[in-house]
Amino acid sequence: MKEVGKDILKRGRNSAGHQQYYCNHCKKWFVETANTPLYRKHMSMDEVINICKHLVEKDGIRSIERLTGHHRDTVSRLLDDLAEHADRLNDFLMHGVKLESC
């Protein structure tokens, strides 16, 4: 008989530094960023935060490329993924939770 709470185990970190997990129940591997805008991004959380700070300051994509060293396509994809995630969250709050706009 298995112990309670031992179905999901920590199993090291991947090359981007994200925690990896293994599920003994379904026999699958997953990372802590699954189902987030950071999933399959090969950069650390600090790098993502740095890019987001530049985006908030309304720096251009090419400017962010020069400042961070990440290619403009990488910055653009991150921006698209963050926008899509925010849109889905907004839809959930408006329709699923039935919040009203101000």
- Domain check: are 96 and 70 in the same one? yes
- Domain check: are 51 and 22 in the same one? no
Give backbone dihedrals phi and psi of 39, rounded to 5 degrees, phi first.
-65, 130
For residues 18-22, average pLDDT: 88
CA distances from 37 to 9, 29, 57, 101 (A): 23, 18, 20, 24
- Domain check: are 61 and 13 in the same one? no
- Domain check: are 77 and 48 in the same one? yes
Share above pLDDT 90 across residues of the chain, in percent, rounded to a whole number:
35
Please state the domain count of the chain: 2
- Domain check: are 28 and 44 in the same one? no
Residue 2 has pLDDT above 60, yes or no: no
- Domain check: are 17 and 58 in the same one? no
The range of the structural domain enclosing residue 7 comes to 1-32
For residues 16-41, average pLDDT: 84
Report the chain's mean pLDDT, rounded to a whole number: 85
